């Protein structure tokens, strides 16, 4: 923005930026706003300040159980898909694999298949195999979805760092396993953290696959969706939404901080 | 000379259809500063990486200190490497970079600290232990890479173009330091470079490589003054080549008939050649003197006209056109006197003069 321009006459870009940020964040801000509103109904005008919905949130076992289900599935999926992603990324970037392009293509396919199609095909497969629907089947489906994302994040990280660092570790007497732990892992750690956060987030708010593949244990998105039909159940969900919003803001800021430190380290490894 | 530290025995390396190293068989002696010199893609780095264990020979065997190495992985070989880009671990400080390979050395913390201080002293970076990798200049990174390898006390230190990334002044300084360091610690250095001047400055012996094959192994002086083949003569330094044919040949003297230089008499030549054989007569630019008055019927002179010249500060290059030769002859002259005027005009008549022992004769196919 032009420094000489008075603030009440912003230029075109500033106006665009303000409209953009408003468009993105205004709807989200309704969440915390109504979570403090002293009314069952989500509508203006606001009736007054209250913390009762937060209290009610804590005292709603169904809601907390759904939250815990999502957290459990999310953490498991994040760890497993990041692990698979890391192994795949190492294989793809460090070894000459025959048919590498085809393998990569097949792994990436879930990224472009519409979720509903994937959900239906998985449902058919799982019922055909007589596997009971549960959080495990949800987790399995989420891994299918999350592993390509983990791979993308980790491949770019692995490609970014100098292969001779691993050779140097071998040359200095470490075997492949210790080379991984002493050199590869610390250097790709920012990528691993980014992948964990990304895959957790994807699993945490995924609806379609979870809706098709779970039985009696709802994940949080499914619980929220079902609460929409009961206005009285909704305000505690708003409180939960606001809490998650603040928590994810903190987590993402932290992740970004880690990532920048990683970039700084990496740029210093050049000459 | 019978107990080499490294012995290449019929080493071949193929990548698919491409032969990177073609039947390398030679020995490197203990305590030598040995260079592999050649243009990029000549196989010198592949040969070095096979010694380190990062590549496996397709055929043949590499012996290090009498032990065959083909079944030994890189982490169990008694050699260490300084990488082209130094490969300093970015997440560790200088001290931890140097200590990296010492985990299994069985030293106490205090002993290790003492050793690290010693090598920091050796590479002239005392007090730099706490620096991060991002706080080092190119020259300092290079020293840390050296220290990290040397603390392991390898039988051979492998260096893969370690000075390539430095600017000219720093490179020349590091060349001297590297040479002193090698003489000080007495470890065999196997050094890869494409820079012939660097190889001449540093090495005890040089292997000149081209397209996977070792062309010649000799001392710097021998390679420059008495190259064994036209390729080496051309690759090391500048050389003027003249086509000719041997007229007569005795034990250490020869006469060669050339078109451009007339009949050249040669003494002090190693080449075993018979009369009638086709030959190259090769003379270094600095071993021909320009003379600006007719020397008359003197042997080993040739008359021509002055072509373009180039002033290089410490010396000047002249190109001289000879009547029976298409390409001009390059003549280098030391600028011993301080003078800012161009002494020689183009198209001025000039005579070239050379000593009969300055001439190299090589067989021509």
Q: Which helix (H) or strand (E) holds A153?
A: helix A135-160
Sequence-separated (6 or more) residues with CB below 8 Å from residue B335 = B311, B313, B314, B315, B316
107-136 of B, contacting A, C-beta below 8 A: 132-134
Which residue, among B54, B91, B133, would best test binding to A if mutated, counting the most A CBs under 10 Å from its CB? B91
pLDDT in tens, B42-84: 999 999 999 999 999 999 999 999 999 989 999 999 999 999 9
- According to the model, what pLDDT value does residue A270 have? 39
By the CB < 8 Å criterion, does B106 face chain A? no
Cβ atoms B12, B22 nearer than 8 A: yes
Measured in whole angstroms, the distance separating CA A179 from the mean position of its chain's CA atoms is: 29
Cβ atoms A148, A108 nearer than 8 A: yes
CA–CA distance, A244 with A35 (Å, rounded to integer): 12
Cα separation values, A147 from A121, A207, B128, Å: 18, 17, 43
- Token code pair at residue B93: 């400080």
By the CB < 8 Å criterion, does A185 face chain B? no
Asked whether residue A267 carries a pLDDT value surpassing 60, the answer given is no
Closest CA–CA distance from residue A195 to any residue of chain B (Å): 20
Residue of B100, B134, B141 with shortest CB distance to A172? B100
Whats the size of chain A, residue-wise?
271
Q: Which residue does chain A place closest to B54, by CA atoms?
A: A167
pLDDT in tens, A175-214: 989 999 999 999 888 889 889 988 998 898 888 888 888 8
- Which residues in chain B have their CB less than 8 angstroms from residue A171's CB? 52, 74-75, 80-81, 149
Tell me whether 0.85 is exceeded by the ipTM: no
Cα separation values, B58 from B23, B53, B55, B79, B251, Å: 10, 13, 9, 21, 43
Asked whether residue A3 carries a pLDDT value surpassing 60, the answer given is no
Residue A65 lies in a domain: yes
For tokens 């990224």, what's the residue? A111
Closest CA–CA distance from residue B214 to any residue of chain A (Å): 26
Could you give the domains of chain B?
A: 6-231 (3.40.50.300), 238-363 (2.40.50.100)
- According to the model, what pLDDT value does residue B340 have? 67
Phi, psi for residue A208 in degrees, rounded to 5: -60, -55
Residue A141 lies in a domain: yes
- The CATH number linked to A121 is 1.10.3720.10
Residue A78 lies in a domain: yes
Contact yes or no for A162 and B101 at CB 8 A: no
Q: What is the count of structural domains for chain A?
A: 1
Percent of chain B with pLDDT over 70: 97
Contact yes or no for B75 and A165 at CB 8 A: no
- What angle in degrees, to the nearest 10, is found between the helix axes of A234-267 and A61-94? 20
Show the domain range for A211: 56-265
- Pick left, alpha or beta for residue B53 (phi over 0 → left; psi -120 to 50 → alpha; otherwise beta): left
Contact yes or no for B74 and A170 at CB 8 A: yes
Measured in whole angstroms, the distance separating CA B334 from the mean position of its chain's CA atoms is: 23
Average pLDDT value for chain A = 83
227-266 of A, contacting B, C-beta below 8 A: 264-266
Average pLDDT score over residue span A152-171: 88
pLDDT in tens, B147-164: 999 999 999 999 999 988
Asked whether residue A62 carries a pLDDT value surpassing 90, the answer given is no
| This prediction's pTM | 0.79
Residue A37 lies in a domain: no
The per-residue b/e assignment along B20-51, b for 16 or more CB within 10 angstroms, e otherwise, is bbbebeebbeeebbbbbbbeeebbbbbbbbbb
CA–CA distance, B53 with B76 (Å, rounded to integer): 9
- According to the model, what pLDDT value does residue B68 have? 93
pLDDT-based confidence at residue B296 (cuts at 50, 70, 90) = confident
Strand order across the B315-321 sheet: B288-291, B349-354, B301-311, B315-321, B329-334
Residue A32 lies in a domain: no
Of A211, A209, A246, A244, nearest to A225 by C-alpha is A211
CA–CA distance, B200 with B177 (Å, rounded to integer): 15
CA–CA distance, B180 with B122 (Å, rounded to integer): 11
């Amino acid at each position: 923005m032009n420094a000489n321009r008075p603030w009440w006459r912003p230029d075109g870009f500033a106006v665009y930026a303000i409209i953009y940020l408003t468009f993105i964040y205004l709807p989200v801000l309704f969440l915390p706003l109504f979570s403090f509103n002293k009314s069952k109904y989500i509508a203006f005008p606001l009736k007054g300040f209250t913390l009762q919905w937060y209290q009610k949130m804590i005292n709603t076992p169904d809601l907390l159980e759904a939250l815990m289900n999502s957290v459990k599935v999310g953490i498991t999926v994040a760890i497993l898909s990041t692990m698979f992603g890391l192994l795949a990324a190492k294989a793809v970037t460090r070894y000459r694999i025959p048919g590498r392009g085809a393998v990569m293509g097949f792994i990436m396919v879930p990224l472009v298949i519409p979720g509903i199609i994937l959900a239906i095909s998985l449902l058919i497969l799982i019922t055909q195999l007589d596997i009971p629907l549960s959080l495990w089947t949800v987790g399995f489906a989420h891994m299918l979805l999350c592993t390509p994302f983990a791979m993308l994040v980790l491949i770019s990280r692995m490609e970014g760092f100098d292969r001779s660092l691993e050779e140097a570790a071998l040359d200095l007497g470490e075997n492949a396993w210790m080379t991984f732990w002493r050199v590869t892992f610390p250097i790709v750690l920012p990528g691993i953290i980014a992948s964990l956060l990304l895959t957790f987030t994807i699993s945490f708010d995924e609806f379609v696959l979870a809706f098709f593949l779970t039985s009696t244990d709802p994940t949080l998105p499914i619980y929220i969706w079902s609460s929409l039909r009961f206005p009285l159940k909704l305000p505690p969900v708003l409180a939960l939404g606001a809490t998650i919003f603040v928590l994810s803001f903190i987590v993402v800021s932290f992740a970004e901080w880690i990532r920048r430190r990683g970039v700084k380290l990496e740029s210093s490894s050049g000459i | 000379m019978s107990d080499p530290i490294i012995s290449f025995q019929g080493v071949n390396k193929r990548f698919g259809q491409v032969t990177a190293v073609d039947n390398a068989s030679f020995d490197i002696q203990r305590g030598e500063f040995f260079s592999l010199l050649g243009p990029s893609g000549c196989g010198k780095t592949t040969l070095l990486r096979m010694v380190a264990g990062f590549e496996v020979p397709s055929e043949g065997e590499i012996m290090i200190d009498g032990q065959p190495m083909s079944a030994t992985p890189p982490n169990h070989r008694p050699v260490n490497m300084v990488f082209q880009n130094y490969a300093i671990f970015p997440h560790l400080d200088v001290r931890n970079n140097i200590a990296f390979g010492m985990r299994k050395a069985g030293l106490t913390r205090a002993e290790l600290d003492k050793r690290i201080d010693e090598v920091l002293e050796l590479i002239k970076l005392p007090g730099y232990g706490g620096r991060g990798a991002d706080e080092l200049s190119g020259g300092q990174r290079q020293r840390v890479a050296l220290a990290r390898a040397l603390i392991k006390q390898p039988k051979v230190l492998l260096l893969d173009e370690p000075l390539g990334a430095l600017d000219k002044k720093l490179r020349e300084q590091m060349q001297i330091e590297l040479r002193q360091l090698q003489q000080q610690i007495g470890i065999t250095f196997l050094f890869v470079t494409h820079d012939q001047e660097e190889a001449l400055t540093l090495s005890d012996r040089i292997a000149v490589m081209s397209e996977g094959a070792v062309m010649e192994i000799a001392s710097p002086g021998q390679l420059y003054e008495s190259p064994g083949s036209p390729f080496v003569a051309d690759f090391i330094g500048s050389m003027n080549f003249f086509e000719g044919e041997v007229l007569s040949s005795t034990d250490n003297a020869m006469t060669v008939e050339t078109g451009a230089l007339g009949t050249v008499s040669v003494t002090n030549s190693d080449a075993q050649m018979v009369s009638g054989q086709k030959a190259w007569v090769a003379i270094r630019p600095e071993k021909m003197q320009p003379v600006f008055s007719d020397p008359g019927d003197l042997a080993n002179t040739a008359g021509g006209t002055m072509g373009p010249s180039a002033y290089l500060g410490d010396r000047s290059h002249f190109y001289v056109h000879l009547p029976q030769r298409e390409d001009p002859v390059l003549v280098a002259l030391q600028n011993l006197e301080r003078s800012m005027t161009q002494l020689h005009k183009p198209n001025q008549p000039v005579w070239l003069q050379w000593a009969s022992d300055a001439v190299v004769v090589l067989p021509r196919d």
